[in-house]
Amino acid sequence: MADLSAITETLISGKAAALKDMVQQAIDQGTSASAILNTALIPGMDVVGERMENGDMFIPEVLMSARAMSRALEILKPLLSAEESKSGGKIVIGTVKGDLHDIGKNLVAMMLESAGFDIINVGVDIAPETFVQAVQKHKPQVLGLSALLTTTMPQIQKTIEALQENGLKDQVKIMIGGAPVTEKFASQIGADGYAPDAGSASKLAKSLIQ
């Protein structure tokens, strides 16, 4: 059995190369990708968040952990594929304006892709009008909006308003998420669904498309 707590510690220390090796080793030893993700990596990022909040870790160190996490996710990506059949749906996903957090959004995109959706990941710091253009261009069934800061949550609402102003609100289902986002907020602003994590995002997208 792989030492998952050592993986967590290496992620917190931001040692990307060592983390990649350890994740690969854990997989080779038979540990499932979801166990590595849910038992070692996500709890590790939570510790990083707590230390950041307490002033025990600073932005450059947090960035090193974030980079290490992204490298680990690259290894896990092909292994996290869901068993369900392809849905054939198209999803545009991005992080809202003013927000640079992309690990969770990329994880959601990855889960959706492995569940059979066609994903257009438009990136971070995306303005409402850019989301509108992406919806006009790609005509997705679902638009996914991610926000990790309480200060950027209003941009989700602004994006929904921009879709409304451009006559697109009824042509696309809007799914939202991110640490500060809640079900209540989603219904208040007229989003079609909220998902607390990547696994539920995949289930939600399927239910929205049906």
| Interacting residues toward ligand B1M by CB under 6 A | 42, 45-46, 48-49, 52-53, 59, 62-63, 66, 93, 98-105, 107-108, 144-146, 148-151, 175-180, 195, 197-198, 201
Report d(CA 17, CA 10) in Å as an integer. Answer: 10
Between 129 and 197, whose beta carbon lies closer to ligand B1M?
197
Question: Please, which residue, 53 or 170, has the CB nearer to ligand B1M?
Answer: 53
The distance of closest approach from Cβ of residue 20 to ligand B1M in the complex, given in angstroms and rounded to an integer, is 17
| 29-68 residues labelled b (16+ CB within 10 A) or e (exposed) | eebebeebbebbbbbbbebbeebeeeeebeeebbebbbeb
If the CB atoms of residues 31 and 44 are measured against ligand B1M, the closer one turns out to be 44
Contact 13, 61 (CB under 8 A): no
The helix (H) or strand (E) run that includes residue 167 is none
* Residue nearest to ligand B1M according to CB distances in the complex: 104
Q: Could you tell me which of 165, 168, 130, 124 has the C-alpha nearest to residue 147?
A: 124
Nearest CB to ligand B1M, comparing residues 1 and 100: 100
Q: Which is closer to ligand B1M, CB of 27 or CB of 203? A: 203
Q: C-beta of 167: minimal distance to ligand B1M in Å?
A: 22
User: Rounded to the nearest whole angstrom, what is the least distance from the CB of residue 164 to ligand B1M in the complex?
Assistant: 18
- Nearest distance in Å: CB 69, ligand B1M: 6
Q: How far apart are CA 147 and CA 180, in angstroms?
A: 8
Q: How far is the CB of 165 from ligand B1M (least distance, A)?
A: 21
Q: How far apart are the first and last CA of the chain?
A: 40
Best CA proximity match to 62, nearest among 40, 37, 41, 45: 45
